[in-house]
Amino acid sequence: MRAGLRLSVAIIGMAAGISGCTTVAPEIASPQAPSTVQAESVASKEDSKVADLVARMSLERKIAQLIQPQINSFTAEDMERYRFGSYLNGGNGGPYGDEFAPPSEWLRLADEMYDASTQPLPNGEPAIPVMWGTDAVHGHSNIVGATLFPHNIALGATGDADLVRRIGHATAIEIEVTGIDWNFSPTVAVARDDRWGRTYESYSEDPDLVAKLGAALIEGQQGTKGSDGYLGDTRVIATAKHFFGDGGTESGVDQGDVNGNIDQLLALHGKPYPAAIDAGVEAIMASFNSINGRKMHGNEALLTDVLRGQMGFDGLVVGDWNGHGQIKGCTVTDCPQSLMAGLDIYMVPDDWKALMESLIAQVGDGAIPMARIDEAVTRVLRVKYRAGLLGENARRPSQRGVAGQYELLASAEHRALAREAVAKSQVLLKNNGVLPLKAGANVLVAGTAADDVGQASGGWTLEWQGGRKDQLPRARFPKATSIWDGIAENVAATGGTAKLSEDGTFEKRPDVAIVVFGERPYAEFAGDQRDLVFRDEEGLKLLEGFKAQDIPVVAVFLSGRPMWMNRELNASDAFVAAWLPGSEGAGVADVLTGKMPATGKLSFSWPETCEGRPLNGPEGALFALGHGLSLTDIAPLGELSEDCAALAVVEGADMFDAGRLGSGVSAFAGRLDGAGFEELIPQMRGDMNGSGVMARGYDRDAQEDSREVSLGAGSYFGLQQTNDTNGAYRIAYEVVTRPTGAVRLRFGDNEPIDVTARFELAQGKGWREMVLTSECVKNLDKRIAFESDGEVTFRVSSVRREALPEGTACAF
């Protein structure tokens, strides 16, 4: 093993010894540490039990333990036949095809899969219970009606490990209610370039703070390592992710490359992992990124030599969504390199059967030694044993702890905890004396985000990418409180009045205005930016409008990262970085009205300029790490420069890209005969039974970055912009099935162009680019639709409008 790697871990170990957090959660009595003899006895029993099971398993059953499909791609019959070791629900997956299914359906599916996995096998082969993994990254955020806690960036602003530990336990309770065993959380990335679309999943740019809070969340979810309640009732398996370097990619590009001296990279981005291991984390997820050009899913020096050999991790390593398929020489269905590098479970959402077959064949031909299979299976079963899935007291999901106690979802206690976390995370960046709001004030609340729980919750909320209220209406958040709700309640309690006016108009002049605005929800690569400019000017115009009328105005900014806000800061009398608070918007109001103090401190440096260069320290920062005013700190902020060259850049408009619709773009489907109603397709994904159209997520280069669209006979599907950005259409597409009838493209209400022959020629030939200009289309309308007289299936990864030179020919 390389000496440099030994040095790295020594450095990390010293840092972790200072900043690691092992305080016991307040609701649990501090346990006596087990004696050496007791620990050896437990380990001996565990090893003996697991070794006995592995020895009696067939090769096929062993391989199945290393396969993790998503619930949309297999049935209970498949589970009984193949006996997967685990499964997951993707960000857009739900039981029985319904991502908004009630909690009882999640528990029903958990029982169904558990029962299928434990059906007796012939010849005395053991039936190993399956475990279910989920991304509950800010509360049990896939479940309608669950508590949505602030995202990690907000929790970083609290700096409060005890608070984070309590949130971890509350989340574990709500997960257990629905019968799920395993959470893919916490993210312990040290985000160092805020252009990265996952910055809000990071607690801080400071690795010490990340290590402290990550360890606390693990203890909250699993319980205190060595205690009687460890991984018992109301606890779930935790996962530290993504090992390692995910927050350090060049230019903040998701899944990109991390470059530099390995010792320095480990001392920075690896620092949270010893703390997580000391806290007892049972699973670690491999990262999508590369380290110095080598993908982590195939990096033996780091997954095995460092993580296990030097850091001492003895749990399981799980891959990320088809991450093994990104290794050079691998495909999603053929990748022994990952297993040999140290991966124990392949997260293979859809192509599980072909991967199982290739792994079995590779053991047969000697490419994978049986000893490596047994090692990986042992690690998986060891975690199951510790989680109580293999002992004498193993139970169906519905018979465990608080399973089925649906009243615990968004319980009063959990909502109060979330409200506390929101209040403690608010960072006051400017205050000319308008805050706290005066008792009895007449308050006007403006901005479309003020009464939008979905926008306040960000990505990973009910859907992978989350959504605003036009995509995730208020009915999806039955127990939530919006920021407007909280302001109205708190202002009324002081004898004042509050009015919601999204566009800022009023009849009676207010004493003060509050403008709530911010980033639209996003997740992963869909949130990557080339700079830190906030281009949505709704909030800016409202702020400037109130300022012009000499009305004191407070800016409440919702975001997943610090951004260049000089214009908005200049236009406001007070500015609050509210992050992504989740379902308890009243916590924001608690600070605005002075019901709670302003105690939040920046866990990321705030930029003075807009270009987005990595900013991790005082140089170039408008507000440094740790900055945050109290409500009594009244110090006017000088006029800030509003110069930003990036604002002058005029580009084309993405109508669909990276798995999401562009701003102001909607997807629709309908019948050519006019029967029924034209249907909107939220997130460009769904089964439109009324029109005979199905659009589902498809992985081209990354998780669900594309859509596969199936048109039934006599149906149409398309996209429409609210505001016409003009320009030609550039569409990346792939024709999957040969059309059985004519296929046309229609722009607005104009005569369509026939593309049947083009589709017939393109079928089965992979990805192509369609360029549609005025050379073949008379009117390039803001509405484009694919019409089909027969059946056809095609895929789309991007739809873009852009200005092209005059005379540019159409292409297919």
pLDDT of residue 649: 60
pLDDT at 53 over 70: yes
* pLDDT confidence bin for 39, thresholds 50/70/90: low
Q: What is the dihedral of CA 497, 474, 165, 238, to 10 degrees?
A: -170
pLDDT digits (tens, 9 = 90+) for 541-583: 999 999 999 999 999 999 999 999 999 999 999 999 999 999 9
Residue 582 has phi, psi (to 5 degrees) of 95, -145
Q: Residue 40 — pLDDT band, cuts 50, 70, 90?
A: low
Give me the mean pLDDT over the 220-238 stretch.
96
Q: What is the pLDDT of residue 504?
A: 98
Per-residue pLDDT, averaged over 650-679, amounts to 81
* The model's pTM: 0.85
Q: Please identify which residue in the block is written with the tokens 């369609």.
A: 770
What is the pLDDT, as a whole number, of residue 45? 86
pLDDT of residue 8: 38
Take residue 322 and report the two structure tokens written for it. 């088809």
Residue type, 178: T
Report how far residue 386's alpha carbon sits from residue 392's, in angstroms, rounded to the nearest whole number. 12
pLDDT at 468 over 50: yes
- What value does the mean pLDDT of the chain take? 92
State the Cα–Cα distance between residues 283 and 266, nearest whole angstrom: 19
Give me the mean pLDDT over the 363-392 stretch: 96
Q: Structure tokens of 56?
A: 């009696």
Lowest-confidence pick of 294-298, 632-636, 678-682, 782-786: 678-682
**Per-residue confidence (pLDDT) for residue 601, from 0 to 100:** 98
Residue 12 above 50 pLDDT?
Answer: no
Query: From CA 273, how far away is CA 90, in angstroms rounded?
Result: 25
Q: Is the pLDDT of residue 329 over 60?
A: yes
* 502-514 confidence digits (pLDDT tens): 999 999 999 999 9
Res. 97: pLDDT tops 60: yes
Residue of 209, 215, 216, 200 whose CA lies nearest to 154: 200
Least-confidence region, from 273-277, 313-317, 413-417, 718-722: 718-722
User: Average pLDDT of 771-776?
Assistant: 91
Query: In 3D, which of 244, 151, 152 has the Cα closest to residue 204?
Result: 152
What is the pLDDT at residue 30? 35
Dihedral sign, Cα of residue 300, residue 302, residue 304, residue 310: positive
Q: pLDDT confidence of 651, banded at 50, 70, 90?
A: low
Q: What is the mean pLDDT of residues 150-155?
A: 98
Among candidate residues 609, 540, 606, 536, the one with its CA nearest the CA of residue 572: 540
Question: Which is more confident, 527 or 652?
Answer: 527
Q: What is d(CA 309, CA 418) in angstroms, rounded to the nearest whole number?
A: 39
Q: What is the per-residue pLDDT for 767?
A: 93
Mind telling me the catalytic residues?
320, 524
Give the closest residue to 138 by CA, choosing from 92, 203, 195.
203
pLDDT of residue 636: 81
Q: Average pLDDT for residues 673-696, to the nearest whole number?
A: 78
Convert the pLDDT of each residue in 236-252 to its tens digit: 999 999 999 999 999 99
pLDDT at 21: 34
Lowest mean pLDDT, pick from 235-249, 530-544, 686-700, 738-752: 686-700
pLDDT of 209 higher than 90: yes
Asked whether the predicted pLDDT for residue 351 surpasses 90, the reply is: yes
Give strand ranges (E) for 43-90.
67-68, 86-88
Neighbour-count burial of 140, counting CB atoms closer than 10 A to its CB (0-12 exposed, 13-18 middle, 19+ buried): buried
Of 120, 115, 122, 126, residue with least CA distance to 79? 115
Q: Please give the helix or strand (H or E) that residue 296 lies within, else none.
A: none
Residue linked to tokens 């400019």: 533
What is the distance between the alpha carbons of residues 796 and 390, in angstroms, rounded to a whole number? Answer: 45
* Confidence band of 652 (pLDDT split at 50, 70, 90): low
Over 50: is that where the pLDDT of 26 sits?
no
